[in-house]
Structure 1
Amino acid sequence: MALGLTGYVVLAIILLTVAAFFMARSRAKSTAGGDIRLLHSLPNYYGYNAAMFAAVPAFGVLMIWLLAQPMIIENSVFKLIPERIVSEGSSRGLVMSDVRRVAEGLDIAVAQGALTDDEADNIRTEFKDVRSILGSVGVALGSNVEPEVLYAAQQYRAKSETGTFWMSVAVVALAALGAALAIFVTNADFRARNTVERGALALLILAASLAILTTVGIVLSMLFESINFFRLHPWTDFFFGGSWAPNFRGDSDLSILPLLWGTLYISVIALLVAVPIGLFAAIYLSEYAGPKTRSAAKPLLEILAGIPTIVYGLFALLTVGPALVSIFGRGEAGLLGVDWMSGATAVLTAGLVMGIMLIPFVSSLSDDIINAVPQSMRDGSFGLGATHSETIRQVVLPAALPGIVGAVLLAASRAIGETMIVVLGAGAIAKFSLNPLEAMTTITTRIVSQLTGDTDFASPETLVAFALGLTLFVLTLGLNVLALYIVRKYREQYE
């Protein structure tokens, strides 16, 4: 019912916005005696102004209300759950999940006629099999419903209905009030165009701020959980320890260094594959290829960037890994007759496939950077008698080098944050080793592992994922900032 009512509220706002637009435009024309030349702004600007005052505040309050109401109700309802239920192995999240499912089931049962609205509000586990009733309407519960959970679900449902009702009243009233005020102030001398342009500017500033606000939100969410982790686990072991051995029963070794080593090792191999191939491809496309070849080859090369990383991971697991085993492993069965590689998952497997994935990142950025080198520099080199290859080596590449370095750093940050290729191609062993034919793991893989399954967010073995994520964020952010600084310095020099 809440979703339906919210839909009607949105429809009402849209209708009020459209009505305000036409009424304000008509009022502006009437105040000018029908002569639009007497208006300060074009008639549509008066309509835009009224529509803006009707829609923007109403939709803003609607969005904030929809985001805040579930959290407020959940905090209120959780107080009704006795500590006995929470302490029996169920975390707050699991208990509230049951509460929401029961409340949703009651709504569905009322909608389908299995229960009346009064029965849903007054049903008791003593005389009604709530589990069977909810199961009959397609809501599955893992166990019998505790009376306290059922009561909390009924309160959750009632509070949600009440909150949604008052939200509808407030939002529709705000839209009507905004439309009425905008229409009331509309006259021939009103500077509607200036008001609309200031509103559009505020909208653009808000859109530009979303990226910054999102970044701040990500950092803060990880920072607070990381602080909780370091309260439970010594930071010296995390940053300077030598092993990674999480144990949810206590006495865990949670050092980032083995994971960081695996991350950097795989990333270096990937860059050793991607940088030469990508750079040579960029040189060919920008300096040697004709227009027809370039128009066909560059899109085909950039298709690699659009392939999902899970596909690369399967390619590493099913194709590249077995191919490497056939060369370096299994004794006499191997092509080299050695037994250096015992399985398909290895650092080299993930590094090679990740390098293939990074080729379009390096080639596309390097191609654009090389093309940005002024043609006058090439012409001056040719005028001095240099050949085409000498011009590329001694003029074009040195001039484009800062930008190419920036492209490589951006590719490196992409490699450090990769997950699926590492999960399927590199293995899950955290250790220090120089052998690229052995299995290792990375920071991203361990983050996924620590947050998979039924987790308790009060244990250091789970909270360590946030410390790992924050460290990885700082590392990739530093690489991106360095890359952007280098590219920006290059553009200032040659543009």
Structure 2
Amino acid sequence: MPLSWLVLIVLALAAAGYFVGRIRVLKLAGGDVRALHSLPVYYGANVALSAAVPALGVLLLWLLIQPSLIENTVSAMIAPEMIPEGSNLNLVMADVRRVADGLYTAVETGAMNMAQVDALQASADVRATLGELGVALGQDVRPEVLAAAKSYLVASGTGNTARMVVVLALSLTGLVLSMIRTKPDYRARNVVERAVLALLMAAASLAILTTVGIVLSMLFETINFFGLHSWKDFFFGTIWAPNFRGDSELSILPLLWGTLYISFIALLVAVPIGLFAAIYLSEYAGPKTRAFAKPLLEILAGIPTIVYGLFALLTVGPMLINLFGQTGALGVNWMSGATSVLTAGVVMGIMLIPFVSSLSDDIINAVPQAMRDGSLGLGATQSETIRQVVIPAALPGIVGAILLAASRAIGETMIVVMGAGAIAKFSLNPFESMTTITTRIVSQLTGDGDFSSPETLVAFALGLTLFVLTLGLNVLALYIVRKYREQYE
């Protein structure tokens, strides 16, 4: 049974239980709502939650655990001597999953049955069968891969069947037990409110658990990386030169320099424009102008970063060449290509303008009106009031907004990929190409990488370093904002 059908059946049982539970308790009470401990809606909700929550919870855990169990079981079937030279277990398992997915599609669509799958022996038969279904295999299917794919398919089928039986049994059991408990004196409201509280706590914990999971996943792989590569070269080296010959130089410093340099230029563009826009919208613009201009400014925040990257590559880069190139308007030869630190920094700054302006606007508006009135009452002009009263009062919050914008700039990828180039080096020239940490993470994890080599594992060390850097900026920004709120609330 497809997963979507299983979920729909559980939801249908819950919906049916909701209405049946209400009808049953009203019938037992003789139609008198006053004879019930709780409102009828709570009895129905109790039945629906009993039918849906345990079943869907087990289904979620099953979906998380089953792939890992099958992966470990099938990978144990592939002996080290079966792995071709120049390959590794991860690449072999990728072939196994690809073949197994193709065979699963063939069985689901009715093109094959399990007996025909078991009869497949030759690579040509597998390639021809999957080719008819649009599953292209780039190389011959080796016997051990085909055998592992069959085992993978059988294990997945068995797991899916068991999953369906367990989930439906839990849903029906919860439905029946809750219907038995549905009586006029049953404290349905208390049970439902406790269940909803538990769901709210689980939702609140999800973000924390996700963050912990991300950190742990990067931390373990980072430990593996430092077991294969010197931490001194990573943190204190000056060259980024990855290769798969075993003599890579993987220093984060050139990447960190490019990241901070591009982010600095982006902030030079975004902070003045965004702050001036926030001051105008909050202090000078009328209600009609504000209602028109603020949404238009914030439209920039909704543009995908890949579009900004194309804008950098096709518009801003050539425009800068026309200004600073050898044949440009200034007649100098400072810039030879469209990709540069300046290109990426300018476009990234444009992207950050609504981020800075929106946060700064909210912070400036939070300054008490009494402070403005007091300044104006003492004879100060509006511009003097803004410079000497409003901005100093809002300054901690504005600094926090700038730090949040900086963390956003440091984590940007697509604009840098398309606008800054891919050269890791130390340079103060903003017209040269450079690269950043995020760009190198994408590069090192693109394609069929060997996750036992330092050249691939370095991506996790880079990611963990970037996470710590942005987390520190966010914590500092939140600290400053909270201090501001305590002072001016």
Q: What is the TM-score of this pair, normalised by structure 1?
A: 0.95
1:50-71 residue CA offsets vs partner (Å, 9 max, x unmatched) = 1101100001111211222122
1:63-110 residue CA offsets vs partner (Å, 9 max, x unmatched) = 211222122112111222232332433333332232233233333444
1:452 aligns with 2:449: no
1:105 aligns with 2:102: yes
Contact 1:9-1:168 within 8 A present in 2 as well: yes
Contact 1:346-1:437 within 8 A present in 2 as well: yes
Do the aligned partners of residues 76 and 181 (structure 1) sit closer, same or farther apart at CA in structure 2, a change above 3 Å counting? same
Do the aligned partners of residues 414 and 142 (structure 1) sit closer, same or farther apart at CA in structure 2, a change above 3 Å counting? same
2:174 & 2:22 partners in 1: Cα distance? 15
1:276 aligns with 2:276: no
1:287 & 1:110 partners in 2: Cα distance? 67
Instruction: Say which is worse superposed, 143-152 or 376-385, in terms of deviation.
Output: 143-152
Instruction: Say which is worse superposed, 54-63 or 71-80, in terms of deviation.
Output: 71-80
Q: After the TM superposition, which residues 126-141 of structure 1 pair with which residues of structure 2 at under 5 Å, given as runs?
A: 129-141=125-137
2:292 & 2:359 partners in 1: Cα distance? 17
1:237 aligns with 2:221: no
Deviation, 1:233, is 0.7
Contact 1:275-1:359 within 8 A present in 2 as well: yes
2:109 & 2:430 partners in 1: Cα distance? 61
1:108-155 residue CA offsets vs partner (Å, 9 max, x unmatched) = 4445555443222233229x7222222223222222222222222222
Letter aligned with residue 329 of structure 1: G
CA RMSD of aligned residues (A): 1.7
2:181 & 2:328 partners in 1: Cα distance? 85
Letter aligned with residue 259 of structure 1: L
Deviation, 1:352, is 1.2
Choose which of 486, 490, 494 in structure 1 pairs with 2:484: 490
Choose which of 158, 170, 174 in structure 1 pairs with 2:170: 174
1:406-436 residue CA offsets vs partner (Å, 9 max, x unmatched) = 1100111111111111112111111111111
Structure-2 residue corresponding to 1:286:
282
Choose which of 224, 229, 239 in structure 2 pairs with 1:228: 224
Do the aligned partners of residues 371 and 111 (structure 1) sit closer, same or farther apart at CA in structure 2, a change above 3 Å counting? closer
Q: After the TM superposition, which residues 9-408 of structure 1 pair with which residues of structure 2 at under 5 Å, given as runs?
A: 9-111=6-108, 114-125=111-122, 129-330=125-326, 333-408=327-402
1:151-200 residue CA offsets vs partner (Å, 9 max, x unmatched) = 22222222222211111111111111111111112211111001101111
Letter aligned with residue 155 of structure 2: K
2:187 & 2:353 partners in 1: Cα distance? 54
Do the aligned partners of residues 365 and 114 (structure 1) sit closer, same or farther apart at CA in structure 2, a change above 3 Å counting? closer
Letter aligned with residue 57 of structure 2: G
1:289 & 1:412 partners in 2: Cα distance? 27
Do the aligned partners of residues 375 and 174 (structure 1) sit closer, same or farther apart at CA in structure 2, a change above 3 Å counting? same
1:38 & 1:113 partners in 2: Cα distance? 56
Contact 2:90-2:451 within 8 A present in 1 as well: no
Instruction: Say which is worse superposed, 201-210 or 82-91, in terms of deviation.
Output: 82-91
Do the aligned partners of residues 461 and 182 (structure 1) sit closer, same or farther apart at CA in structure 2, a change above 3 Å counting? same
2:47 & 2:465 partners in 1: Cα distance? 48
Instruction: Report the count of equivalent residues.
Output: 489
Task: Indicate the percent of aligned positions where both proteins have the same amino acid.
Answer: 73
1:474 aligns with 2:468: yes
Contact 2:90-2:450 within 8 A present in 1 as well: no
Structure-2 residue corresponding to 1:420:
414
Q: What is the TM-score of this pair, normalised by structure 2?
A: 0.96
Contact 2:118-2:150 within 8 A present in 1 as well: yes
Letter aligned with residue 77 of structure 2: L
State the SS of the aligned residue for 2:416: helix
Contact 1:82-1:148 within 8 A present in 2 as well: no
Do the aligned partners of residues 14 and 356 (structure 1) sit closer, same or farther apart at CA in structure 2, a change above 3 Å counting? closer
Letter aligned with residue 211 of structure 1: A
Letter aligned with residue 24 of structure 1: G
- The unaligned stretches of length 5 or more in structure 1 are none
1:484 & 1:472 partners in 2: Cα distance? 18
1:133 & 1:236 partners in 2: Cα distance? 52
Letter aligned with residue 157 of structure 1: L
Instruction: Say which is worse superposed, 249-258 or 27-36, in terms of deviation.
Output: 27-36
Letter aligned with residue 283 of structure 1: I
Contact 2:270-2:356 within 8 A present in 1 as well: yes
Do the aligned partners of residues 20 and 280 (structure 1) sit closer, same or farther apart at CA in structure 2, a change above 3 Å counting? same
Structure-1 residue corresponding to 2:426:
432
Instruction: Say which is worse superposed, 8-17 or 197-206, in terms of deviation.
Output: 8-17
Letter aligned with residue 39 of structure 1: L
Instruction: Say which is worse superposed, 151-160 or 262-271, in terms of deviation.
Output: 151-160
1:109 & 1:376 partners in 2: Cα distance? 73
Do the aligned partners of residues 340 and 92 (structure 1) sit closer, same or farther apart at CA in structure 2, a change above 3 Å counting? same
Do the aligned partners of residues 309 and 12 (structure 1) sit closer, same or farther apart at CA in structure 2, a change above 3 Å counting? closer
1:312-355 residue CA offsets vs partner (Å, 9 max, x unmatched) = 1122222222222222221xx23222222222221111111111
Contact 1:229-1:467 within 8 A present in 2 as well: yes
Contact 1:267-1:412 within 8 A present in 2 as well: yes
1:147 & 1:293 partners in 2: Cα distance? 71
Contact 2:376-2:385 within 8 A present in 1 as well: yes
1:22 & 1:475 partners in 2: Cα distance? 53
Instruction: Say which is worse superposed, 69-78 or 475-484, in terms of deviation.
Output: 69-78
Contact 2:78-2:148 within 8 A present in 1 as well: yes
Instruction: Say which is worse superposed, 23-32 or 180-189, in terms of deviation.
Output: 23-32
1:211-231 residue CA offsets vs partner (Å, 9 max, x unmatched) = 111111111111111101111
